[in-house]
Amino acid sequence: MTRIDALREFGQDAIDELDAILGLCEEATEVVSRGRAAFDEDRLLRRAADAIIMHIGEGVSRRRLDAFKLRHPFLGDSRGWQIVKDTANFYDHQYAEIDPEQTWRVLTIDLPALEAFIRSALGD
């Protein structure tokens, strides 16, 4: 599938949402590029990372992506998208329980996988 095919199939609103999610993944990469020590030492950097994760979950939850998610199951089935939403929901509602180690894993493992998946689906 090319980006043009995706635009025809899913519409501009879905493509815009996917681009916004990709932008958030790029922001996560910027956080990671500062290094683990900076992440551990800088509370505001950790809060920024938490916010990125929450915003990605909000984007994935939007109805305009329903057709895309059905056609492109993340992690092989529909549960993959639900995991993204559930992770963001946890960050949003269990703020005091967020483990910086888990956040770092999301930033360095999960979000790069999500970004690569979306880029591949769009033919980027």
Considering the entire predicted model, what is its pTM?
0.93
- Return the pLDDT at 1: 80
Q: How many domains does the chain divide into?
A: 1
DSSP label of 107:
I
pLDDT digits (tens, 9 = 90+) for 20-73: 999 999 999 999 999 999 999 999 999 999 999 999 999 999 999 999 999 999
Residue 76 is part of which domain span? Answer: 3-122
When pLDDT is cut at 50, 70 and 90, the band that residue 94 belongs to is confident
- Give mean pLDDT, residues 7-14: 94
Per-residue pLDDT band for 106 (boundaries 50, 70, 90) equals: very high
Task: Give me the pLDDT at residue 46, please.
Answer: 96
- Of the pLDDT bands very low, low, confident and very high (cuts 50, 70, 90), residue 77 is confident
